[in-house]
Structure 1
Amino acid sequence: MTALRVRSSSSLPACGTATGTAAASLPSTWPSIPPCPIPRSPLPGRFEPEVCSESVTPHIMEAPEKSIHEPQPPNESRARKGNQRALFLTGLMFGFFLFLMALPTPAGLSPAGHRVLSVALLAIGLWCTDTVPAGVTGMVIVAALVLTGAVPGLREALAGFADPVAYFLIGVLTLGLAVLRSGLAERLARFFLDRCNGRARTLYLHLLLGFPLLTLILPSATTRTGILVHVYEQALDLSRVPRGAPLAKAVMLALNSVNRLASTVLLTGGITPILAASLIGGVSWTRWLVLMSVPFGVLLVLGAALIYLLHRRGFDIPLSCLPEKKPKPLSGVEIRTLIITMGASVLWLTDAWHHWNPALPAILALVCLLAPGIGVLTWRDFESHFGWSNFFVLASSVSLAQALNGSGASTWIARLIVRGIPSSDQHPVLVVVALLLVSAPVRLLIPNISGFLATTIPIAMSIGLATSLNPVIGGLAVVIAGDAVLYYPAQSASSLVVYER
């Protein structure tokens, strides 16, 4: 700390003394000023500023001038360059889109299918490069479907916004928001952190082991992700793990991919297994578990191991220890949140009895969470903290998938790709491998898993009938390929939940 002295050559007899009117007026709480040599002023009666131990003048006079003339960080320049790059890529993709539209329609493909495929490739490019916000890309899809004549009118382009899955997502995300706002997320985060003893690997292992168990309680991967993403965000924040750190990336990638795969092991695990079982036919709950537990178990282990290896540096850093805190009893808000969440889970697990669409329990849970008296959220909380981009992306991708199916484009793509599959009666394993390989590019072009399954399962089963392969195995092969691979977040509602965080 620097100190400023004011002295008069006639009134200050010695250095370091507190005499004179200026020194006497200093408050008693000021720190003492160490003595320093002060030269005599050449002019009697003139007051001069002097500095003890270092000059104070640069600190007083030059600091404001420095802050004015100091060059700013190049954030504006970087943002400008980033915007220019995004504009260039967006223009390039729209140019490619116009080029595709100008090409002659391939044989066997309808003109509407040609236009829908062009829109689908534009959407994939925008979603993969992220040059524009994902929600804006969803609106681009709706407009492009209408303007190109890929669908008869705006009503068909907005068909995805009337699909129940979009409102299922709204209800699930509201459940996750309620878990966060009620304090349950922090309580669960502290529970996990207390048992990992500062070891990041233990926290990651708890996360992985919890997926199969939570599937029995919350069968939907989107529901689990919507809740767990808040829980583990709290855990990482309490452990002082910054966003973007290797450990944070590993946890979020596990929620995004491994968690989703855990649902497909069970027939009641969500839309994917239910739709696939209905298309294949004759698959019971136990038979589905026996057939899918091995391949998806292998995928779970491989996915978790790959994520660990890619971000292993983050697991070597110990987590910050939490201070001792006696757990408090559950509050009324937490109890109401638990009751509403478990009530929705019971309705999802008993859908074989009441045959409700999964979106209906989610909507009922949303109403209860926002209802006066029993709710835990206000409407302001809901509208300000809800990730509306998820809704637009999912709804527009469903519209695109329906347009692909309605125009016959998805069937044309599938038949074109599977045409080269070997139909050897002596090597059915080769047929399975070929189905797995050719399903991946089809999944790239069809963003919605329901549209993908509705297109590929009948074709795969037909190939199985034409060879020595069991048709059920052929149908399950494309389910594995379609559910195990994600190219961009819009292909899965649970992935959107993590991506928007």
Structure 2
Amino acid sequence: MLVVLPAGLETAAPAAAGLRLAGTVLAVAALWAGGLLGPWASASGWVLTALAVAAAPLGVVRAVATSGAVWLVAGGMIVGVAVKHSGLGERLARGLVARIGGSYGALLAGIVAVALVMAFVMPSSMGRTVLLTPVVLSLAAALGFRHGSRGYEGLVLATGTACIIPAMAVLPATVPNVVMLGAVEAQHPGTLRYFDFMAAHLPTTGLLRAALVVAIAWLLYRQRPQAAPPQDPRPLTGPQTRLLLILAAALALWATDFLHHVSPAWIAVGAAVLCVLPPRPVLPAPRLAGAVNVKALVLVAALVGLGAAVAQSGLATGLGGRLVERLPLDPAAGGAWDAVLVAALSMAVSVAVTTPGAAAVVTPLAPRLAEASGLPLEAVLMAEVMGYATALLPYQVPPLLVAMAMGGVPLRRGAKLTLAVAAASVVLSWPATIVYWRMIGLLGGG
């Protein structure tokens, strides 16, 4: 494999194995950027290549095998299948959306609110998208929005966007977040906590961006419904009630991890075990066989391994040094400008390698960026999230692509919404986030 390394990088990892590993990392980044292969094919190809050329050291393999991100996704998949199999997800979605009101704006607000609420109880953005989109499609048909109409496309796009962008405020709720968590655990265990992460992001990345999605979708796609939203008066079933209790317990444990210090991954695994535990499982054993999406697990495992490889191969050190030289980071500026620069870097990388790839590539650079900016490592990581949560185009966030495919919405229509939401996020959400972080002391008071 022929790989051209940036000038000066060759000194960061002189060992042949380190150079080979750096080469595989650059190759998979090029595949993602060029869109030649899908994310899963590129990721699995990287795993096979790294093993074939003996480039992956034992530390990388161990980081993947013990990564909380991988186990978090596995547990979340089983919980997500239980939510879908029991009918709880569809019931919650229909019930909440139906009660929010009949106007187009209220309908959008209900859909986005449901998506954000589900981020706390169903830790899989793809699972939420697959579950919520058919409900919204049925709701659109019941309200008289014909396929391809402006109002129809607005509902579909708002659903896909809300299932991923505001959900970045919840640590276990998106693949980029869990990939970042896995990369951080490999190098700096204990740095990220569920409650601290949510406290830093929920008001702005979560609630404010959810409001922006509603407002922009209303401005671009508003159309008067032709009928009232349908009601769902059915009572909860036994499995749905048990699943609600399991989810409530998991959410309580996630929110109090600063007290018990149990990883969100093991809480998700515990919830998954309770879902399949006899004698009255919420998810019967025959359904469990198809619960785990192997492709998604391979993708997350490869991304976690990619992050560990970037750190251990010397690529992070070399690339981090060159970025530090070019970014106008200034510890004397008080942290706000440096946080914006880190966010801009993360946003730019996500354009090239999608949001999960950005989490894998930028996270290993965080220590160097923290050293150059004078920011705490946690602040750099939070700024990274602010950046990759700002998706310019639909291909950067696969759940939105899935919603568009399910609803038959053209790519150019989705790009109009994502560009508008991204611009509004940079202009409104980013400054609000910086001010809020100053208030809570994340950036310091200088």
TM-score of the pair, normalised by structure 2: 0.68
In 2: Cα distance, 1:440 partner to 1:175 partner: 30
Q: Specify whether residues 108 and 347 from structure 1 end up closer, same or farther in structure 2 by C-alpha distance, changes over 3 A only.
A: same
Q: State the AA in 1 paired with 2:137.
A: L
Query: Contact conserved, 1:261 with 1:300, CA < 8 A, in 2?
Result: no
Q: CA–CA distance in 2 between the matches of 1:487 and 1:112?
A: 36
**Percent identical residues:** 21
Would the aligned equivalents of 1:113 and 1:150 in 2 still touch at CA under 8 Å? yes
Contact 2:242–2:282 (CA under 8 A) maintained in structure 1: yes
- 1:464 paired with 2:373, answer yes
Corresponding position of 1:371: 277
Match of 1:333 in 2: 239
Other-structure match for 1:251? 159
CA contact (8 A) 1:109 1:409 kept: yes
**Relative to 1, partners in 2 of residues 1:318 and 1:276: Cα closer, same or farther, differing over 3 Å?**
farther
Is 1:144 the counterpart of 2:49? The answer is yes
Query: What amino acid does structure 1 have at the position aligned with 2:70?
Result: A
| 1:336 CA drift (Å) | 1.7
In structure 2, distance between residues paired with 1:488 and 1:146: 33
Q: Which has the higher helix share?
A: 2
Task: Work out the CA distance in 2 between the residues paired with 1:294 and 1:323.
Answer: 31
- Give, in whole Å, the separation in 2 of the partners of 1:136 and 1:496: 17
Q: For 1:475-496, what per-residue CA distance to the aligned partner results, in whole angstroms no more than 9, with x for missing partners? A: 3674345443469999999889
Could you list the per-position Cα deviations for residues 43-65 of structure 1 after superposition, in whole angstroms to 9, with x for gaps in the alignment? xxxxxxxxxxxxxxxxxxxxxxx
Q: Does 1:437 pair with 2:344? A: yes
Could you say which residue in structure 1 is the equivalent of 2:12? 109
Change (3 A) 1:413 1:319: farther
| One-letter code aligned to 1:449 | A
- Which segments of 5 or more consecutive residues in structure 1 lack a partner in the other structure? 1-97
> Residue 390 and residue 237 in structure 1: after superposition, are their counterparts in 2 closer, same or farther (change >3 A)?
farther
Residue 174 (structure 1) aligned with residue 99 (structure 2): no
Tell me by how many angstroms 1:229 deviates.
Answer: 5.0
Check conservation: 2:108, 2:214, Cα contact below 8 A: no
| 1:179 CA drift (Å) | 1.5
Q: Report deviation, 1:364.
A: 1.8
Show the counterpart of 2:415: none
Write the distance in 1 (CA, Å) between the matches of 2:194 and 2:291: 38
The verdict on how the C-alpha distance between 1:274 and 1:298 changes in structure 2, with shifts beyond 3 A counting, is farther
- The within-5 A match list for 1:49-60 is none
Structure 1 residue 381 and structure 2 residue 284: aligned?
no
| Separation (CA, whole Å) in 2 of partners of 1:491 and 1:164 | 23
Q: Displacement of 1:500 after TM fit?
A: 10
Q: Return closer, same or farther for 1:383/1:128 CA change in 2, 3 Å cut-off.
A: farther
In the TM superposition, what whole-angstrom CA distance separates every residue of 1:94-123 from its partner, at most 9, and x where no partner exists? xxxx44269998442324444334323332
Pick the structure with greater CA Rg.
1
Q: Distance in 2 between matches of 1:497 and 1:152?
A: 35
User: Which amino acid is the alignment partner of residue 384 of structure 2?
Assistant: V
Structure ranking higher on relative contact order (CA contacts 8 Å, 6+ apart):
2
Is it true that 1:398 corresponds to 2:304 in the alignment? Answer: yes
- Residue correspondence of structure 1 range 32-43 to structure 2 within 5 A: none
Indicate the larger mover: 475-484 or 414-423.
Answer: 475-484
Tell me how far apart the structure 1 counterparts of residues 297 and 306 of structure 2 sit (CA, whole Å): 14
User: CA deviation digits over 1:22-54, x for unaligned, max 9?
Assistant: xxxxxxxxxxxxxxxxxxxxxxxxxxxxxxxxx
Aligned residue in 1 for 2:68? 164
How far the C-alpha of 1:270 sits from its partner, in A, is 7.7
2:362 pairs, out of 452, 456, 460, with 452
Over aligned residue pairs, what C-alpha RMSD do you find? 4.7
1:417 deviates by: 1.0
Q: Distance in 2 between matches of 1:286 and 1:125?
A: 35
Which of 420, 423, 444 matches 2:326?
A: 420
Instruction: Give the whole-Å Cα distance in 2 for the aligned partners of 1:156 and 1:400.
Output: 8
* Secondary structure of the corresponding residue to residue 326 of structure 2: coil
2:423 corresponds in structure 1 to none
Alignment of 1:193-208 (within 5 A): 193-208=97-112
Once the two structures are TM-superposed, the CA of residue 335 in structure 1 deviates from its matched residue by 1.3
On the 8 A contact 1:250/1:308 being kept in 2, the answer is: yes
Hey, what does 2:134 align to over in structure 1? Answer: 233
